Structure 1
């Protein structure tokens, strides 16, 4: 992937290591919010001490981000063409009867149950898509209206959506990812009463609930129980499953573009899917640092709590650097800070 402005940024990000990992901007976060949440207080005064090199690093990010953004059609077509030829996400990302017939052998033996007959996007390319991370940068952002104005809205790991957060994160959801560990740890793997989890899932309306059912053996049964639960309760939501072949191809694609991580984050998975399915992709809540870019005040880990996420699983700063390069090249738009009502 071509470098845009400051190729040393990635190296600096790696060197800072755990000092910059106190904020998660999306993530497969096993402590994502299905319980009731009180909005965390955001400190608005500048911290007395920043980690060594942090101010310079954030200043460099702002310099690269502050240029007037315009979509570059040529860069967009070139990048999405390479992404599509490598991953075929529009056709392959979600398991359907068309791309994975009943009886198909997966990476491991697992019971194949009902799958969608057709791709959930119905061969439709959306004009605008919003991919919403859960980073603390969303608190007090006022981005809710912009997010809800998108034609298709994707969210990560069942975040809380209610009146407390609507002004900043919006209310609409068309697709939301769900880490199976949430159901294992907070809802007894859905082996008992399920009404409480259904009450929470109602906040996502008619959305698709996207689960990595076949990424690990331990994910399969609970993911199937989620699908059964939605069906048993007559929910308008549908459970859909990531195709493990797509995830492997996607990992290889990003690896070839400089992202060496044990596993991709949910955020970059959804951003990649959006780039194939949408003409204009907008990212919100993606910020891997513990200080706000404007004012440098301390941020909470998520917009809804300050629970620390796993640090060892994803190469978050490198992912952010790659997404920032795509922003600079006009391929997608990365929103940082407050959203202006007249912002386009």
Structure 2
């Protein structure tokens, strides 16, 4: 009770102070000479009071969602766009739906409404509460790509120190812990890139077509879907309450706002980065880009053709790299380039 009284007194004092400041500012503007009451001093006092009442978006040194740091960022970042598909935001606008259907050109896509209804009868239809930002916190996230520049980087302990660790596609950790860490909180996949995950890891399905959503239902129940355009796992061991769905509208938002139409659709890597901007306060990137010799390959294999996707036109790897480099230049993310 005593604490509540103290808080009430402080709030009352702040309100009175703001009122008096505003009064003095108006009075100084109309009657008092600048020598008696410098207007700049009153303005600064007023701004400081506003900061006291409206706390910063987070307690990190650089908060991602902080506005008016970069016009380039403010033009692209739309905090109202929801990254995850839920039972409450599952209706797609017609232009979004038609764009999404063209991504991988399904010949006879199933009815999306029926598919989503079936999907949320199996997996949770509400947003993962862990992903919801809390004011007054500093959520540090590591987004770990699959680049060979992670080899001999010794980033493992540093990666594991983050609150969230996001990985993608087939990335393994066993045997590579010293360089890539062992902790994973969220793993982004699509059916064709799925790998079995740890028991406490949340799977974020990135759906590029309607059958991807149907596959989630099938892979956690009947196991009837074994093939999309290539063979896919018939069954997965991921707990149903650990399955989240990347919103198709968010894919389009990344494509429109951040990639400005470059490539045919975004890569899982850039989808992971922009996703993290919306759920994290501070983001560190590891395992993105070529190694020190300019080679594009995965850290777990020697594959000379691993960078071939850069020439197909499906993803514009160079433009995506420019986006992350710009984000780093304005202190919205940090990029660790490895070896």
TM-score range, shorter chain: 0.5 to 0.7
- 1:302 is aligned, of 295, 298, 301, to 298
| Residue 266 of structure 1: aligned partner | 268
Contact 1:205/1:236 (8 A) holds in 2: no
Query: Which digits, 9 at most, give the CA deviation of each residue in 1:51-103, with x for residues without a partner?
Result: xxxxxxxxxxxxxxxxxxx9655995346655452x634xx2211122227xx
In 2: Cα distance, 1:244 partner to 1:260 partner: 17
Name the SS for the 1:98 alignment partner.
coil
Aligned residue pair count: 238
Relative distance call for 1:167 and 1:135 in structure 2 (3 A) is same
Relative distance call for 1:336 and 1:94 in structure 2 (3 A) is same
Contact 1:75/1:329 (8 A) holds in 2: no
Name the SS for the 1:201 alignment partner.
coil
- 1:208 is aligned, of 182, 188, 202, to 202
Regions of 4+ moved over 6 Å: 229-232
Name the SS for the 1:206 alignment partner.
coil
Is residue 123 from structure 1 mapped to residue 132 from structure 2 by the alignment? yes
In 1: Cα distance, 2:329 partner to 2:238 partner: 44
Contact 2:154/2:180 (8 A) holds in 1: yes
Contact 1:281/1:333 (8 A) holds in 2: yes
In 1: Cα distance, 2:83 partner to 2:238 partner: 25
Relative distance call for 1:123 and 1:301 in structure 2 (3 A) is same
Contact 1:94/1:241 (8 A) holds in 2: yes
Instruction: Report how far residue 285 of structure 1 moved.
Output: 0.3
Query: Which digits, 9 at most, give the CA deviation of each residue in 1:232-265, with x for residues without a partner?
Result: 8574872222211121122110134xx6111111
Contact 2:64/2:277 (8 A) holds in 1: no
In 2: Cα distance, 1:96 partner to 1:255 partner: 25
TM-score, with structure 2 as normaliser: 0.61
Contact 1:71/1:331 (8 A) holds in 2: no
| Residue 166 of structure 2: aligned partner | 154
Contact 2:196/2:236 (8 A) holds in 1: no
Instruction: Report how far residue 266 of structure 1 moved.
Output: 0.8
| Residue 284 of structure 1: aligned partner | 286
- 2:214 is aligned, of 218, 221, 237, to 221
Relative distance call for 1:139 and 1:232 in structure 2 (3 A) is closer
Is residue 243 from structure 1 mapped to residue 247 from structure 2 by the alignment? yes
- 2:87 is aligned, of 85, 88, 97, to 97
Name the SS for the 1:267 alignment partner.
helix
In 1: Cα distance, 2:238 partner to 2:66 partner: 40
Q: Say which structure, 1 or 2, has more relative contact order (CA 8 Å, 6+ apart).
A: 1
Instruction: Report how far residue 208 of structure 1 moved.
Output: 1.5
Is residue 252 from structure 1 mapped to residue 245 from structure 2 by the alignment? no
Is residue 140 from structure 1 mapped to residue 152 from structure 2 by the alignment? yes
In 2: Cα distance, 1:221 partner to 1:77 partner: 39
Instruction: Report how far residue 134 of structure 1 moved.
Output: 0.2
Is residue 334 from structure 1 mapped to residue 335 from structure 2 by the alignment? yes
TM-score, with structure 1 as normaliser: 0.60
| Residue 180 of structure 2: aligned partner | 169
In 1: Cα distance, 2:238 partner to 2:323 partner: 41
The runs of 5 or more residues in structure 2 that have no matched partner are 1-59, 99-108, 224-233
Name the SS for the 2:281 alignment partner.
strand
- Which is higher, the Rg of structure 1 or of structure 2? 2
